[in-house]
């Protein structure tokens, strides 16, 4: 297995990124990428030397100051001022895993040769990634248009000896980092600051991180839902392939296929049922989980396009001899996709909580609240409350950020995507979904105890045995929070033996 991932024009997708992260691969620029970067910089230098025509962000001010011409001797100062003045982030610090992704995606975007950045600058970003030197970035400050200006400014600050970084498990200043590494601060050339700050890598990195977790949680929702199906003694007929081929949404068909696989040799599933129909939260798992899968596919396509694109401004086109100021930094495609994903994940949590509610209701031969002596013991009464609280919060978080826009830069930037706000609240929905599914599995495992000696499938028996090694069956009331925490950890560290991207 290669120890390095080579940045090139080859398509970067979720599987590739997962491979880079899981196998802790280092980054390196391919010959193609180095050539593209150098050609673009050479072209830009030539243009600046030969002409004094104002070109946005190269020899002019920024935003509403785009008509202010800057003299050639001030171009480095212009770019460094840009980075420093735009570093206005606040709020919580961004997860280090996401900062790592921001570095990867920024390097990828700069490698196409449409940004005019210097090779030395990109190589320094590669060094940051490979040495696990992660700039301190803050969650709040981006409008998701003109790029993720504030967070990307914080990402760029250490290049010029400013800002802060995570270095060997502590936070140090950018100035201190340069001394430790014996590096010189970079002198940013024309357009370099703008190339670093313009772009959608804050939103994109959140999207990639959320998608990687969401695909795993989607798989786990099917798996845990299957445990609940047997725990609630449900019919298998609603999962018959014929039903879903009659309405062949891909996600729906895939979900039903998975559930049939998970329950294939279940004794409980094969037993004759007294109940003719089951509640929607069980019977309609393929339709509901499937719709969320189809949303994942849409968002994945959008994110894939974005992370293989040039999103700074202006763009340099050497063959056509053009430098064009456009709007590829606008995050609207991401803003809509991130909001859509939050809604889809909130629905997975919503239906999961409904299954938990049914399991504790004292129906289908199960004791009320899944405890042997209800009354003396409250049993699993309150974990459902917790799930309900989290699901309610998800509904608030799923309100789209992308429907808002606030004018900025003195009216020059009069429509913005607010995709960055959509990105940060999406992470909370992802975390909440993990919690709700953990509570469902906690309840379903307990309910399955009352089905014994009847057996579920071999696949689900193995999962339950592993789960019960960390979250035991309860016979009397105990403090529940530690068990919910263990259940969440179990899902976060679940060992996937098949492709969860399928």
User: Quick check: bond before 314 cis, omega within 30?
Assistant: yes
Average pLDDT over residues 395-417: 94
The residue whose two tokens read 């004018």 is: 407
User: For the segment 424-448, what is each residue's pLDDT rounded down to a tens digit?
Assistant: 999 999 999 999 999 999 999 999 9
> Would you say residue 220 has pLDDT above 90?
yes
Could you report how far apart the first and last alpha carbons of the chain are, in Å? 23
Query: Six-digit token pair at 178?
Result: 């340069």
Q: Name the 3-class secondary structure at 138.
A: strand
Domains parsed from the chain with CATH numbers:
4-198 (1.10.275.10), 206-493 (1.20.200.10)
Q: Name the 3-class secondary structure at 178.
A: helix
Q: What confidence tier does 421 reach under pLDDT thresholds 50, 70, 90? A: very high
Give the other-Cβ count within 10 Å of 339's Cβ: 24
> Whole-structure pTM over 0.85, yes or no?
yes
Q: What is the predicted pLDDT for the residue at 125? A: 98
Crossing angle between the packed helical segments 285-307 and 332-359, to the nearest 10 degrees: 150
- 262, 497 Cβ separation under 8 angstroms: no
User: For the segment 263-307, what is each residue's pLDDT rounded down to a tens digit?
Assistant: 999 999 999 998 889 999 999 999 999 999 999 999 999 999 999
Average pLDDT over residues 177-187: 97
> Would you say residue 380 has pLDDT above 80?
yes
The residue whose two tokens read 């950890």 is: 489
49-53, 118-122, 138-142, 348-352, range with the lowest pLDDT: 49-53
Q: What is the predicted pLDDT for the residue at 188? A: 94
Query: Six-digit token pair at 193?
Result: 């600051």
- 325, 243 Cβ separation under 8 angstroms: no
Nearest-angstrom CA–CA distance, 395 and 68: 46
| Strands of 164-167's sheet in order across | 134-135, 164-167, 170-173
Find the helix or strand (DSSP H, E) in which 30 lies: none
- 146, 63 Cβ separation under 8 angstroms: yes
Give Cβ neighbours of residue 217 (< 8 Å, ≥ 6 apart): 345, 348, 430, 433, 434, 437, 491
Nearest-angstrom CA–CA distance, 361 and 341: 31
- 201, 137 Cβ separation under 8 angstroms: no
Average pLDDT over residues 325-337: 96
Q: What confidence tier does 502 reach under pLDDT thresholds 50, 70, 90? A: confident
Q: What is the predicted pLDDT for the residue at 342? A: 98
> Would you say residue 229 has pLDDT above 80?
yes
Reported as half-sphere exposure (CB side, CA atoms, 13 A), residue 1 has a value of 8
The residue whose two tokens read 């340069």 is: 178
> Would you say residue 451 has pLDDT above 80?
yes
Could you give the dihedral angle defined by the CA atoms of residues 412, 415, 417 and 421, in that order, rounded to the nearest 10 degrees?
Answer: 80
Average pLDDT over residues 394-401: 98
Query: Which of 43, 56, 215, 219 is the catalytic position?
Result: 56
Concerning whether 112 is annotated as a catalytic residue, the answer is no
- 427, 206 Cβ separation under 8 angstroms: yes
Q: What is the predicted pLDDT for the residue at 112? A: 98
> Would you say residue 360 has pLDDT above 80?
yes
Q: What is the predicted pLDDT for the residue at 66? A: 66
Q: What is the predicted pLDDT for the residue at 1? A: 65
Query: Six-digit token pair at 325?
Result: 């100021």
Beta bridge partners of residue 368, listed in sequence order:
361
User: For the segment 8-65, what is each residue's pLDDT rounded down to a tens digit?
Assistant: 999 999 999 999 999 999 999 999 999 999 999 999 999 888 877 777 777 776 666 6
What are the helix (H) ranges across 360-409?
Answer: 381-397
| Closest to 230 in 3D by CA, of 481, 461, 466 | 461
C-alpha distance from residue 160 to each of 83, 138, 181, 249, 472 (Å): 9, 18, 13, 51, 54
Give the other-Cβ count within 10 Å of 381's Cβ: 16
Residue 141, by phi and psi: left (phi above 0), alpha (psi -120 to 50) or beta? left
Q: What is the predicted pLDDT for the residue at 54? A: 76
Q: What is the predicted pLDDT for the residue at 64? A: 61
């Amino acid at each position: 297995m290669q120890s390095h991932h080579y940045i090139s024009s080859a398509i970067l997708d979720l599987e590739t990124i997962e491979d880079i992260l899981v196998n802790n691969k280092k980054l390196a620029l391919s010959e193609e990428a180095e050539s593209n970067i150098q050609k673009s910089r050479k072209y830009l230098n030539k243009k600046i030397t030969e002409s004094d025509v104002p070109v946005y962000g190269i020899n002019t001010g920024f935003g509403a100051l785009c008509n202010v011409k800057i003299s050639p001797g001030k171009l480095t100062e212009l770019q460094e001022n840009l980075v420093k003045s735009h570093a206005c982030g606040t709020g919580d610090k961004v997860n280090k895993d996401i900062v790592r992704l921001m570095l990867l995606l920024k390097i990828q975007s700069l490698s196409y040769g449409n940004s005019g950045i210097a090779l030395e600058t990109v190589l320094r970003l590669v060094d940051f990634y490979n040495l696990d030197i992660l700039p301190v970035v803050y969650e709040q400050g981006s409008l998701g248009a003109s790029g993720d200006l504030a967070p990307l400014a914080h990402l760029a600050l250490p290049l010029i000896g400013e800002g802060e970084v995570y270095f060997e498990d502590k936070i140090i200043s950018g100035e201190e980092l340069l001394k430790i590494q014996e590096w010189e601060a970079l002198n940013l050339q024309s357009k370099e600051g703008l190339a670093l700050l313009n772009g959608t890598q804050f939103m994109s990195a959140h999207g990639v991180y959320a998608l990687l977790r969401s695909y795993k949680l989607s798989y786990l929702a099917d798996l845990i839902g299957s445990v609940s199906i047997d725990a609630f003694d449900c019919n298998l007929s609603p999962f018959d392939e014929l039903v879903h081929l009659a309405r062949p949404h891909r996600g729906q068909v895939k979900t039903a296929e998975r559930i049939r696989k998970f329950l294939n040799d279940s004794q409980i599933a094969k037993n004759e049922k007294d109940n003719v129909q089951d509640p929607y939260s069980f019977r309609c798992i393929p339709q509901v989980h499937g719709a969320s899968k189809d949303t994942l596919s849409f968002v994945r396509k959008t994110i894939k396009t974005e992370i293989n694109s040039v999103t700074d401004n202006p763009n340099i086109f050497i063959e056509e001899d053009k430098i064009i100021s456009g709007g590829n930094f606008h995050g609207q495609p991401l803003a809509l996709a991130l909001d859509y994903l939050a809604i889809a994940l909130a629905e997975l949590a919503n239906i999961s909580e409904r299954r938990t509610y049914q399991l504790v209701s004292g129906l289908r031969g199960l004791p009320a609240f899944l405890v042997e002596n209800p009354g003396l013991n409250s049993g699993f009464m309150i974990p459902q409350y917790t799930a309900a609280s989290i699901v309610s919060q998800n509904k608030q978080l799923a309100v789209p950020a992308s429907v808002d826009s606030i004018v900025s830069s003195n009216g020059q930037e009069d429509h913005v995507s607010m995709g960055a706000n959509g990105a940060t609240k999406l992470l909370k929905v992802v975390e909440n979904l993990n919690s709700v599914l953990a509570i469902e599995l906690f309840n379903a495992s307990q309910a399955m105890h009352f089905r014994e000696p009847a057996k579920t499938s071999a696949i689900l028996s193995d999962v339950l045995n592993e789960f019960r090694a960390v979250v035991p069956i309860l016979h009397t009331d105990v403090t529940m929070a530690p068990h919910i925490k263990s259940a969440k950890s179990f899902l976060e560290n679940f060992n996937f033996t098949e492709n969860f991207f399928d």
